[in-house]
Amino acid sequence: MKPIEPAQTPSVPGMTRKIRDFWTRNVNAERLFGQQVSQHPRGEEAYFQDLETQRYRSHRHLLPWIATMRAPATVLEIGCGIGLDSYTIARQGLDLVAVDLTEVGVRTASQRFAHNALAGAFAVANAEDLPFPDNHFDYVYSFGVLHHADDTERCIREVHRVLRPGGEARIMLYNRHSLNEVMHRLLRVPFEERDELCPVVRRFDRRELLAMFAPFSRVDLGIEYLFGEGYGAVYRLMPRWLYDPLSHRIGWHWMIAARK
């Protein structure tokens, strides 16, 4: 039987390098189940537009979630990749700083910002040891990233550290008790790339999340995203009146708002 990524992976020496190498080879959002999302070269504006269209069409809950972060405010995005959400955040007038583990992500995102004269600062950094002072940001945003870290709990402690008192973390992590989890286990399909196992793909239940976010003064948990366009006709034909309530019960995304 083909292996898939385990729900919990122990932190081990050298894992961060393996994670960086994986996401350098497999630039996030460029492929959907092995198929290229855009035929335009990386970095062209048409490339970004193709990837944004697919991302926000499939992740229908994402733009409204980003829109609730109000300017003026400072935002740290952890795991920006090529900067799709970074671009959306900055265009709302928020003061953005974004970090990623990969040089290709930071380079691609920062070049787009420079080309469009959009303000934002980018740096290569590990979320387990953020290069920022305590109590620094109004928001910390991270969508679908920290469950891929070598030590997710340590990353959450860093998120708490760099937030200002009263600041809010907006974090998406994968839900173990989800339809998507069941289907991947039944079909033995890897979670991130069709033909390669991602080094770390953690999935969490409610109890684990509440324990991990215990240092925060308030934690609100929601569930979204039953499945996306990788499900083909099932996704296209399922009516919203059915998709949405199922998403809230057995969806793949824990949407976490945690106030310091």
- Where residue 83 sits, what CATH number does that domain have? 3.40.50.150
Q: Which residue has the tokens 């992740």?
A: 59
In a domain, 5, yes or no: no
Residue percentage of the chain with pLDDT more than 90: 93
In a domain, 37, yes or no: yes
The count of domains in the chain is 1
Cβ atoms of 238 and 251 within 8 Å: the answer is no
pLDDT digits (tens, 9 = 90+) for 199-246: 999 999 999 999 999 999 999 999 999 999 989 899 999 999 999 999
pLDDT digits (tens, 9 = 90+) for 83-102: 999 999 999 999 999 999 99
Closest CA to 219 of 180, 176, 256: 256
**pLDDT band at 17, cuts 50/70/90?**
very high
The separation between the first and the last C-alpha atoms of the chain, rounded to the nearest angstrom, is: 44
Query: Is it the case that residue 27 has pLDDT exceeding 80?
Result: yes
Residue percentage of the chain with pLDDT more than 70: 100
Query: Is it the case that residue 33 has pLDDT exceeding 90?
Result: no
Query: Is it the case that residue 72 has pLDDT exceeding 80?
Result: yes
For the purposes of burial, counting CB atoms within 10 Å of the CB of 82, is it exposed (0-12), middle (13-18) or buried (19 or more)?
A: buried
Q: Is the dihedral of CA 176, 181, 186, 187 positive or negative?
A: negative
pLDDT digits (tens, 9 = 90+) for 148-192: 999 999 999 999 999 999 999 999 999 999 999 999 999 999 999
- The percent helix, strand, coil of the chain (3-state, each to 5) is 40, 20, 40
Average pLDDT, rounded, for the chain:
96
Q: Which residue has the tokens 């708002």?
A: 257
- In this prediction, residues 124-139 reach a mean pLDDT of 98
- Which is it for strands 95-100 and 121-124: parallel, antiparallel or unpaired? parallel
d(CA 10, CA 20): 17
In a domain, 89, yes or no: yes
Is pTM beyond 0.85? Reply is: yes
In a domain, 3, yes or no: no
Query: Is it the case that residue 1 has pLDDT exceeding 70?
Result: no
In a domain, 6, yes or no: no
**pLDDT band at 37, cuts 50/70/90?**
very high
Q: Which residue has the tokens 């393996």?
A: 18
Range of lowest pLDDT (122-131, 230-239, 248-257): 230-239
In a domain, 10, yes or no: no
Encoded tokens for 98: 């974004």
Apex CA 58: angle with CA 173 and CA 117, to 5°? 85
226-244: b or e for each residue (b if 16 or more CB lie within 10 Å)?
bbbebbeeeeeeeeeeebe
82: Cβ contacts below 8 Å, ≥ 6 apart: 27, 28, 29, 30, 42, 48, 51, 104, 105, 108, 109, 112
Predicted pLDDT at 195? 84
- Structural element, H or E, at residue 17: helix 15-25
Query: Is it the case that residue 2 has pLDDT exceeding 80?
Result: no
- Structural element, H or E, at residue 22: helix 15-25
Predicted pLDDT at 260? 98
DSSP code per residue over 69-113: SPSS-EEEEES-TTSHHHHHHHHTT-EEEEEES-HHHHHHHHHHH
In a domain, 66, yes or no: yes
In a domain, 172, yes or no: yes
Give the structural domain span for 74.
Answer: 15-259
Predicted pLDDT at 230? 87
Distances, alpha carbon 166 to alpha carbons 95, 147, 222, in Å: 17, 24, 20
- In this prediction, residues 19-23 reach a mean pLDDT of 98
pLDDT digits (tens, 9 = 90+) for 134-160: 999 999 999 999 999 999 999 999 999
